[in-house]
Structure 1
């Protein structure tokens, strides 16, 4: 009987394992294999070479004459900078919104309505939501018109659009919800009697928040952080649109390489990006045992 149950469990898991292999393992294996191929202007050559990885790190052994980093390191540092900024801002915003919904909104109906309102922007395309910032932040946009009309500036502010500021703003606008949802879910699972016990013990609101709510919300914080890191590190559309095609990122470099049919070089860059993202996720999971918490 035990053997029959074991066989049945394997058959139940087989469809999910097949989907995982077909849509996750096989594509990654193909990308890894192509990253070691040769190529020229006309064709891909399935012959093993390390030249694609050597090309990525070409000139990275030392600074150039102007003291700048090589292209690959500079691009990855720029992408990590955006990732860190967006993660910090979305964490603060996401935690604040989730805390308000979980502890300050008493009615489940109002909670549901406000939560649904947070998802309204996801009912439209990401590109449309990004483009909607142009009439606001452009040189002749509403923000500059207000600043000029109020005599706060003498000429239009140039850095509002097609700049690192607009890129971070768009990232925060697009992806804060990925931080709100897991944190809100973790907060809703917190036993309210713990908050009452902390209050009875003389803890202030800030002490309760830091010593009770934050530790018990760490699973949601970790999951939201993983979402933000993985999305921002590989994004190229947002940086391309909001950066005016003037700001480099790893995803943008990979997109350009594929557009020039440099698939092995793009695959090598993708493998390197995957390794960096996995290293960040591994570091995050060292802080919280996600399997135990879930």
Structure 2
């Protein structure tokens, strides 16, 4: 039986990619140049949305402070960096334990199945579950006061940067762990034995053998975490008490007030920032070559 050419076999997936990915991006980019109207969306071309977005950001401010857009992006990048670092440490540690200290494939399967159980529920439900624990009258504050470690409830446990980072780590650690675990399972165990025979310590083997061979998984997990955190607005809104700024939250607010062109411009800028981060990560690891 004659096999169809590769380009014909790729047409169905290419069509799906075009309709559900490329066209929406092009539409958002087009809307970002439309004039802002309070009542209707009227096609046109203007740079006013981008000018409004960066107003006062390039030497226009009198007080010397950063403009609102830069502050919002710095806040988002702060969450992104903290969550990336924490999920990398936790995800790598868990992946290492499962890959090298759980010999049975069945046990590894059970562990991953248990880890996926929280994903059977909504992210919002999983975030709300922290509120009874971290609130002023929550279990954590009551326990700390009963043990005499604090004299009053700790307000920073909930509706704060700490709560936002905690929720992000809770939601995204699995996305970091799974690619790293997949890379670890592909490591030839004879390389680790050779390092041991050469007199390398456990830390030397980890740093010089395992980590370099896991860089593909680390890169993929980093892309997952960074893209999810940069565009998130639900977690910041729920765990931040609607009082912490992020780019995703700004876009959601602009959309709710029917400021679609301005929201689209913000989304285009956000996409550009995320792409720059991904390109920088790809400079460290050639993903296409590694895969």
TM-score, normalised to structure 2, is 0.98
Q: After TM superposition, give the deviation of residue 148 of structure 1 in Å.
A: 1.1
Q: Pairwise mapping of residues 115-134 of structure 1 onto structure 2 (< 5 A)?
A: 115-134=112-131
Q: Which runs of 5+ in 2 are unaligned?
A: none
**2: distance between equivalents of 1:38 and 1:63?**
23
Q: Which runs of 5+ in 1 are unaligned?
A: none
* Residue equivalent to 1:137: 134
Q: Contact between 2:72 and 2:245, CA under 8 Å: does it hold in 1?
A: yes
* Residue equivalent to 1:54: 51
Q: After TM superposition, give the deviation of residue 63 of structure 1 in Å.
A: 7.0
* Residue equivalent to 2:96: 99
1:38 aligns with 2:17: no
Tell me how many residue pairs correspond in the alignment: 291
Q: After TM superposition, give the deviation of residue 66 of structure 1 in Å.
A: 4.5
1:87 aligns with 2:79: no
Give the secondary structure class of the aligned counterpart of 1:184: helix
> Equivalent of 2:207, from 210, 226, 243?
210
* Residue equivalent to 1:163: 160
1:91-118 per-residue CA deviation (whole Å, 9 max, x = no partner) reads 0000000000000111111111112112
Q: Pairwise mapping of residues 237-276 of structure 1 onto structure 2 (< 5 A)?
A: 237-276=234-273
**1: distance between equivalents of 2:21 and 2:203?**
44
1:112 aligns with 2:109: yes
* Residue equivalent to 2:69: 72
**2: distance between equivalents of 1:95 and 1:63?**
44
**1: distance between equivalents of 2:21 and 2:121?**
27
**1: distance between equivalents of 2:7 and 2:162?**
51
**2: distance between equivalents of 1:153 and 1:38?**
55
Q: Contact between 1:190 and 1:216, CA under 8 Å: does it hold in 2?
A: yes
1:219 aligns with 2:216: yes
**2: distance between equivalents of 1:110 and 1:252?**
40
Q: Which runs of 4+ in 1 moved over 3 A?
A: 63-67
**2: distance between equivalents of 1:68 and 1:281?**
29
1:187 aligns with 2:209: no
> Equivalent of 1:17, from 6, 14, 39?
14
**2: distance between equivalents of 1:9 and 1:268?**
37
**2: distance between equivalents of 1:237 and 1:143?**
24
Q: Contact between 2:36 and 2:49, CA under 8 Å: does it hold in 1?
A: no
1:8 aligns with 2:13: no
1:249-285 per-residue CA deviation (whole Å, 9 max, x = no partner) reads 0000000000000000000000000000000000000
